[in-house]
Amino acid sequence: MDNLENKDRELAPLEREFNHVICSFEHFFKSQATAGIILLLCAIAAMIIANSDSHDLYEKISHMALSISLGDFTISHSLHTWVNDGLMVMFFFLLGLEIKYETLVGDLKDFRDSSLVIAMALGGMLLPAGIYAAIALTGSEATMNGWGIPMATDTAFALGILALLGSKAPRSAAVTLSALAIVDDMGAVAVIGLFYTDSINLVSLGYAGLALLGLFMFNLLGVRRPIFYILGGVLLWWFVLQSGVHATAAGILAALAVPTKPYAQSRWFSRRMRGILDRFEKIDKQDVSILEHQEQHELVEKAQSVAAMTTTPIQRWGHVLNRPVSLVILPIFAFINAGVALPSDLGQVFNSVVLVGIASAMVLGKICGITLFAWLAVKSGLSRLPTGLAFPQVFALSCLAGVGFTMSLFIASLGFAGHPELLAQAKLGILAGSIIAAILGTTLFLIINNGNQAGPQTEQ
């Protein structure tokens, strides 16, 4: 914990020695770049296995059946389906919480402050989609289904790169990129719902609407216990899954119903905590462990309850889900989806319309779209650049926005379902485009930083 030294600890017999080993691991997992690094490692592992003698094992794992049964009721799907239609709902739920938070009190609250990132996101969606569509016209009709793939930005990867750059990238770049990715994700969710959805079962959709209405009623009635939203969310997920709309839409919709008001006001928190702390200090004994002092234990539990009642569910649940989603769910998704066997003739790969279209759109489309729309928004007077961010940094940031992995793979699996060859080409295009964008963005930030440092020295 922060500022907790060993002299203030009650250590287990072997804990002091074990801490020397585990400390570096704890620091790594708390790092902002960790999620992106683990995601990348899982994608690389999938690619290596898929192109090794264990290729058949990788396919068996991906298509392994996983069943849940209760009496005569049975649900059975492949592991690939459970990950994409099940686990990824948690990612979209967390994404929905972030969207709701940003639009209520964050960077997207005030249109004058959010107009720049909205303009940048629009450019970063429209031009990549347009470039891909123009290239896809030279291919088969099925290739056009991938137009939505290059639109999204992978927040974990892009922010992870900025975190690794440290002081070489301005703080405002990370804030702008985060807000840009949120708007990007809104667009990607809309694209999935509108253009990558099969036939609709209106009856199941109606039941989904009732489940969503129930979640909003919980909110209006002041219900803040997670169990009610978990049960309602599971029902919503099931009915959305049966309706034909992609199941991950349930995650976004459920997040919109999460309460944003705390149970108690901050003034009550201050009074209550002062009373608990005063009582705790009065009965505290120097050489007596809390294990031997039941009243102290009860006071600590009261403090935890008071703290929980003073925080909002949208913040608390988002904090709880952030690490499991970024460190477990997304890496599993990357491992299951990123594995693609390279053809023996690599020259054939670069003749692929899908690969070239996606890679070009992710790099050129993002750079041109984001930079152009940012310039138009600022020059028109609609927006202003954040402090510390100039157009050279905007250009570098637009390169990093071309790193599209999680959402791009997800849209590819929808757009090219039933076309395994095109899906394999799309995955290679996503990997190639993301690598090129990451290298370009990182290099530009380093060059700009070195130029800024050299400028004052030259003047002296």
Task: List pLDDT tens digits, range 350-409.
Answer: 678 999 999 999 999 999 999 999 999 999 988 888 877 888 999 999 999 998 877 888
Distance CA 55, CA 291 (A): 53
**58 against 289, higher pLDDT:** 58
Chain position carrying tokens 């978990």: 230
CA angle 44, 45, 46 (to 5 degrees): 90
pLDDT of 171 reads 75
H-assigned helices in 330-390: 330-338, 346-349, 353-360, 366-379
pLDDT of 40 reads 80
The pLDDT of 173-195, averaged and rounded, is 80
What confidence category does residue 259 fall into, taking pLDDT thresholds of 50, 70 and 90? very high
What digits encode the pLDDT tens for the residues 410-438? Answer: 889 888 988 888 988 898 899 889 989 98
Chain position carrying tokens 């919503």: 236
pLDDT of 174 reads 78
pLDDT of 404 reads 82
Which DSSP state fits 247? T
Q: What is the mean pLDDT of the chain?
A: 83
Distance CA 433, CA 424 (A): 14
With H, G, I as helix, E, B as strand and everything else as coil, classify residue 390.
Answer: coil
With H, G, I as helix, E, B as strand and everything else as coil, classify residue 76.
Answer: strand
pLDDT of 459 reads 44
- pLDDT surpassing 70 at residue 27: no
The pLDDT of 181-203, averaged and rounded, is 78
Residue 151 token pair:
């639109």
Listed by start position, the domains of the chain span 32-66+77-197+246-261+312-459, 266-309
Distance CA 348, CA 312 (A): 54
Which DSSP state fits 163? H
CA angle 421, 424, 426 (to 5 degrees): 110
- pLDDT surpassing 70 at residue 233: yes
What confidence category does residue 81 fall into, taking pLDDT thresholds of 50, 70 and 90? confident
Asked whether the whole model's pTM tops 0.85, one would answer: no
**95 against 350, higher pLDDT:** 95
Checking phi first, is residue 388 left (phi over 0); if not, alpha (psi -120 to 50) or beta?
Answer: left
The pLDDT of 247-271, averaged and rounded, is 89
- pLDDT surpassing 90 at residue 139: no
CA distance to 273, 281, 426, 434, per residue, from 83 (Å): 42, 49, 19, 22
**456 against 160, higher pLDDT:** 160
Chain position carrying tokens 């901050």: 266
What digits encode the pLDDT tens for the residues 295-333? Answer: 888 999 999 999 888 999 999 999 999 888 888 888 888
CA distance to 22, 221, 268, 305, per residue, from 264 (Å): 38, 15, 7, 11
pLDDT of 28 reads 47
The pLDDT of 258-270, averaged and rounded, is 91
* Contact predicate 332/87, CB 8 Å: yes
What confidence category does residue 17 fall into, taking pLDDT thresholds of 50, 70 and 90? low
- pLDDT surpassing 90 at residue 240: no
**186 against 266, higher pLDDT:** 266
What digits encode the pLDDT tens for the residues 99-114? Answer: 888 888 876 677 766 7
- pLDDT surpassing 90 at residue 455: no
Distance CA 185, CA 151 (A): 9
pLDDT of 458 reads 46
Q: Residue 366: CB partners within 8 Å, gap ≥ 6?
A: 124, 127, 128, 150, 153, 398, 399, 401, 402, 437
What confidence category does residue 218 fall into, taking pLDDT thresholds of 50, 70 and 90? very high
Instruction: State the distance between the two ends of the chain, measured CA to CA, in whole angstroms.
Output: 45
What confidence category does residue 198 fall into, taking pLDDT thresholds of 50, 70 and 90? low
CA distance to 165, 361, 446, 447, per residue, from 453 (Å): 15, 33, 11, 10
CA distance to 112, 200, 372, 460, per residue, from 381 (Å): 10, 44, 14, 35
- pLDDT surpassing 70 at residue 224: yes
- CATH 1.20.1530.10 describes domain 32-66+77-197+246-261+312-459: yes
What DSSP string describes 264-297?
S-HHHHHHHHHHHHHHHHHH--TT--GGG-HHHH
- pLDDT surpassing 70 at residue 9: no
β-pairing verdict for 73-78 and 65-70: antiparallel
Distance CA 35, CA 29 (A): 8
CA distance to 3, 49, 133, 171, 230, per residue, from 82 (Å): 41, 21, 31, 38, 18
Distance CA 126, CA 10 (A): 57
Distance CA 338, CA 33 (A): 20
Share of the chain above pLDDT 70, in %: 87
Residue 289 token pair:
């462990």
Share of the chain above pLDDT 90, in %: 30
- pLDDT surpassing 50 at residue 460: no
